[in-house]
Structure 1
Amino acid sequence: MARWESGAVEPDMATQAAMATIFHVPAERLSALLWPNWLPMGELFHVEGVWSPENCHSLLDASGDLMLERRGFVTLAAGSAAVLVREWQSVGRAVPEFLSGTSEDIALGFEGRLPWLRDLEDAHGGGRVRRFVDLELQYANELLRQTGHGGAGGRRLFRVVADLCRIAGWASADTGHLAAAERYFVLGLRAARAGGDRLSGANLLKCMTLLLAEAGRPQDALLLARSAVDATADGPPRVRAMLTVRQARVHAILGERDACERLLGQAETAMAETDGQPCPDWALYFDDAEYAAQVAACHLALGNYAVSDHLLERTTRLQPASRQRDGVTYGLWWAENAFRLGEPERAAAHLSETVPLIESGFSTRNRTRFAQVRRLLHPHRTLPQVRDLDARAASLLAWGA
């Protein structure tokens, strides 16, 4: 069903008619709409609409359905990325004082829980975190309903909503619910607009770039990445470095070496300026370990395996123990990189190190990635290191089969 609904495979008309009967879809809807648009849950996701606090509030009212959205592919209609960028860019360039506010502000309690939710998502991810965040979104929405959308308190609460949507979006992507992830990100982008927080909006665009790039839509991803970088030209250096590396990574995926390396040079300059400079709390994770990992991803995509190998060793050494899921992800990258260097034994060793952490975690993305990298080693399955890996990872391999 997922392959049919995503458009990867289109069922014949007889199969569609049988499905329409099961779903109680009228025959006239089936004949009037192309596949998969007649499906009850298959409508495309559109981004048009007035970008106002009131409109954002109405979208928040409907956000409860996102917990039921379990499709494992993106559903943004063709051309939606361009519409999203055009409408977002039309709202002006003001960036708020992200460290301002008083202890009496109505959003203070929500802000105080954000670090805990970020840490929880970093450590575990998955549906459990999404439930916590959805409760916070419901409470924030009710508070907006009671107090109104305007004033400093309303703007500050909308900024909290934007960050909550980012956390929920990554939790959704981590569990393979990509359609829900993109909806959270777009809702967060609107909330950031309602809160006057252009930096947070740019961060949400950055999140969407990876979602689209991994879904085979790198040109749409590049459009969003460029917009995020352009919007933060006068932002904190840590934010600029983070967004510039993401744009560089999309260029690397597209095989555009010169553009990628030019942007990596700009990111390196920005990272050198971060010491002592304030930045939003959500950007603090982009430290030396994360920077090295993202630059490594660029070189891995470009085929510069010796460079990426050095960077992945560095990020593994620097990665905080609290970011276990990211550590696993970069261990999987390191395993693939070793394979590309012609070292299947080392690749198997890197994979073996991730097995217990993947089994104890909740990341669907890491489980899927593990299976993909293990398939690269199939021609070397008789090596003792690979046989040992398969024995240790029997349940993971069965999951990915």
Structure 2
Amino acid sequence: MSRWESGQVEPDLETQYSIAAVLGVPATAVRTHLWPDWIPVGERLLVEGAWTQESCFVLFDSTAGDVLLDRRGFVTLATGSAATLAREWQSPAGARDLFDCTAGDLIDSVAARLPLLRDLEDIHGGGRVRVPVATELRFATELLRGADLGSAEARRLFRLCADLCRIAGWASTDTGFLAAAERYFVLGMRAARAGGDRLSGANLLKCMSLLLSENGRPADALALARSAVEGTADGPARVRAMLTVRQARLHAVLGERRRCEELIRRAEGLMERPDDQLCPPWADYFDEAEHAAQVAACYLALGDHQTSDRWLETTTRLQPASRERDGITYRLWRAENATQLGDIELACHHLGKVAPLTHRGSSQRNRARFSAVRRLLHRHRALPPVRTLDEQVAALLA
């Protein structure tokens, strides 16, 4: 390691610009941040500390926007911190759920743009929305700077920031910026607490739990998922169903089939209930198609590929065509099921359908799933359908 790599000597600007280009960091960050602060490594994520509006604003003011620089493709949450996060999120908070706030035109404009950002991320994936949502978060932070913390306007802004953090976190997860994603999710939980929005906080816990589960931390993930369910016992039925089936998925990952299926049945019962409360807009996506997809994911994790595919058939039948990214995901799951069940021709059919979409899309998660199924098919590479698929993929990469 050279002296400047170890931090003893600052490299000249030309060298810094070269490093930034390799890492994908904007040149403006080199000009506005001292060496080595612009390097996308960041600090270890901390979850301790008072969950107050003042501390939340300090975190927003110090990190909003700069999270984009964190390109680490791994999570940094310290071992055992998930339990602390779940416990502190459930601790008593002074704020109640407040939905009767008034605000100025600028705050209204942030709220008006949220549905567009939410839809862009849901439909097209994180690559299309990661930069604009970070810009929106910086704007909301500037509005917070001038707000009276504790006022109705500040509480509304904190709730909007929580939703922005969720979108930014999912966009970062989808594009492989995992350390950035967890920072957004944790910051969003604090914002939800500061704004008195417990449902949004539970949703962020769910997001964080999936991030940890997909990165080899299922036990920590379960602690967060369970906390989300326990903290919303009086919430809308659809939200409770969404959180319950997510917890079931964690038990599936841990091989706990009985507990998983208990929670699946509970979620099904909740889905059958009429909505007794107004659902937040971010829960609208959790319809019958998405519920079926999450149950399918449970059985996929359990290795019950026939049952998983039956649920995915329901998802395919019910899901709107506009949800392209999710449609790719579920087709990839069907390809995995078909491969494991020995139907190689069907597996190649599923992969062939989504190969161009996966290749041109920005979802790193779907690209990883695509590659994982192709690895499963490698032992069958002499079969004509696999050879045809390999030729199709080679042409896309050419």
TM-score by length of 2: 0.88
Kindly state the Cα deviation for residue 43 of structure 1 after the two structures are TM-superposed: 4.1
Distance in 1 (CA, whole Å) between partners of 2:179 and 2:341 is 35
| 1:224 and 2:224 aligned | yes
The one-character-per-residue Cα deviations of 1:305-335 (angstroms, maximum 9, x if unpaired) are 2211111111112111211001101110010
Distance in 1 (CA, whole Å) between partners of 2:145 and 2:395 is 48
The answer to whether the Cα contact below 8 Å between 2:95 and 2:194 also exists between their aligned partners in 1 is no
Distance in 2 (CA, whole Å) between partners of 1:53 and 1:115 is 25
Aligned to 1:41: 41
The one-character-per-residue Cα deviations of 1:178-233 (angstroms, maximum 9, x if unpaired) are 00000000000000000000000000000001100111010000000000000011
Aligned to 1:85: 86
Distance in 1 (CA, whole Å) between partners of 2:397 and 2:238 is 39
Kindly state the Cα deviation for residue 300 of structure 1 after the two structures are TM-superposed: 1.0
The one-character-per-residue Cα deviations of 1:231-285 (angstroms, maximum 9, x if unpaired) are 0111000000000000000000000011101111110011001457520000010
Distance in 1 (CA, whole Å) between partners of 2:188 and 2:40 is 25
The answer to whether the Cα contact below 8 Å between 2:41 and 2:72 also exists between their aligned partners in 1 is no
Kindly state the Cα deviation for residue 94 of structure 1 after the two structures are TM-superposed: 6.6
Aligned to 2:330: 330
Residue type matched to 2:87 in 1? R
Aligned to 2:207: 207
Kindly state the Cα deviation for residue 76 of structure 1 after the two structures are TM-superposed: 0.6
SS of the residue corresponding to residue 49 of structure 1 reads coil
Aligned to 2:186: 186
Alignment map for 1:232-311 (pairs within 5 Å): 232-275=232-275, 277-311=277-311
Among all aligned residue pairs of Structure 1 and Structure 2, give the percentage whose two residues are the same amino acid.
64
Distance in 2 (CA, whole Å) between partners of 1:84 and 1:276 is 30
Kindly state the Cα deviation for residue 384 of structure 1 after the two structures are TM-superposed: 1.5
Structure 1 residues 143, 25: CA separation in 2 closer, same or farther (over 3 Å shift)? Answer: same
Aligned to 2:118: 118
SS of the residue corresponding to residue 66 of structure 2 reads helix
Kindly state the Cα deviation for residue 124 of structure 1 after the two structures are TM-superposed: 2.1
Structure 1 residues 71, 40: CA separation in 2 closer, same or farther (over 3 Å shift)? Answer: closer
The one-character-per-residue Cα deviations of 1:30-56 (angstroms, maximum 9, x if unpaired) are xxxxxxxxx993642211122111111
Distance in 2 (CA, whole Å) between partners of 1:20 and 1:72 is 26
Structure 1 residues 397, 315: CA separation in 2 closer, same or farther (over 3 Å shift)? Answer: farther
The answer to whether the Cα contact below 8 Å between 1:367 and 1:396 also exists between their aligned partners in 2 is no
Residue type matched to 1:348 in 2? C
Alignment map for 1:1-400 (pairs within 5 Å): 18=1, 22-25=5-8, 41=41, 43-63=43-63, 64-92=65-93, 96-98=97-99, 100-102=100-102, 107-275=107-275, 277-394=277-394
Distance in 2 (CA, whole Å) between partners of 1:105 and 1:379 is 60
The answer to whether the Cα contact below 8 Å between 2:155 and 2:194 also exists between their aligned partners in 1 is yes
Structure 1 residues 231, 263: CA separation in 2 closer, same or farther (over 3 Å shift)? Answer: same
Kindly state the Cα deviation for residue 127 of structure 1 after the two structures are TM-superposed: 3.8
Provide structure 2 residue ranges, at least 5 long, that are not aligned to the other structure.
10-38
The answer to whether the Cα contact below 8 Å between 2:226 and 2:247 also exists between their aligned partners in 1 is yes
SS of the residue corresponding to residue 70 of structure 1 reads coil
**RMSD (CA atoms):** 2.0
Kindly state the Cα deviation for residue 115 of structure 1 after the two structures are TM-superposed: 0.7
Kindly state the Cα deviation for residue 19 of structure 1 after the two structures are TM-superposed: 5.8
Work out the number of aligned pairs and report it.
Answer: 368
Distance in 2 (CA, whole Å) between partners of 1:112 and 1:214 is 32
Residue type matched to 1:22 in 2? E
Distance in 1 (CA, whole Å) between partners of 2:189 and 2:210 is 16
Structure 1 residues 274, 212: CA separation in 2 closer, same or farther (over 3 Å shift)? Answer: farther
Structure 1 residues 249, 396: CA separation in 2 closer, same or farther (over 3 Å shift)? Answer: farther
Distance in 2 (CA, whole Å) between partners of 1:396 and 1:195 is 47
The answer to whether the Cα contact below 8 Å between 1:166 and 1:204 also exists between their aligned partners in 2 is yes
The answer to whether the Cα contact below 8 Å between 1:371 and 1:396 also exists between their aligned partners in 2 is no
Provide structure 1 residue ranges, at least 5 long, that are not aligned to the other structure.
1-17, 27-38
SS of the residue corresponding to residue 233 of structure 2 reads coil
Kindly state the Cα deviation for residue 91 of structure 1 after the two structures are TM-superposed: 2.9
SS of the residue corresponding to residue 185 of structure 2 reads helix
The one-character-per-residue Cα deviations of 1:55-98 (angstroms, maximum 9, x if unpaired) are 11111112222010000000011111111112111134975255
Structure 1 residues 145, 276: CA separation in 2 closer, same or farther (over 3 Å shift)? Answer: same
Residue type matched to 1:82 in 2? A
SS of the residue corresponding to residue 393 of structure 1 reads helix
Distance in 1 (CA, whole Å) between partners of 2:378 and 2:220 is 34
Distance in 2 (CA, whole Å) between partners of 1:104 and 1:51 is 26
Structure 1 residues 168, 274: CA separation in 2 closer, same or farther (over 3 Å shift)? Answer: farther
The answer to whether the Cα contact below 8 Å between 1:126 and 1:175 also exists between their aligned partners in 2 is yes
Residue type matched to 1:81 in 2? A
Residue type matched to 1:380 in 2? H
Structure 1 residues 129, 313: CA separation in 2 closer, same or farther (over 3 Å shift)? Answer: same
Residue type matched to 1:244 in 2? T
Residue type matched to 2:204 in 1? L
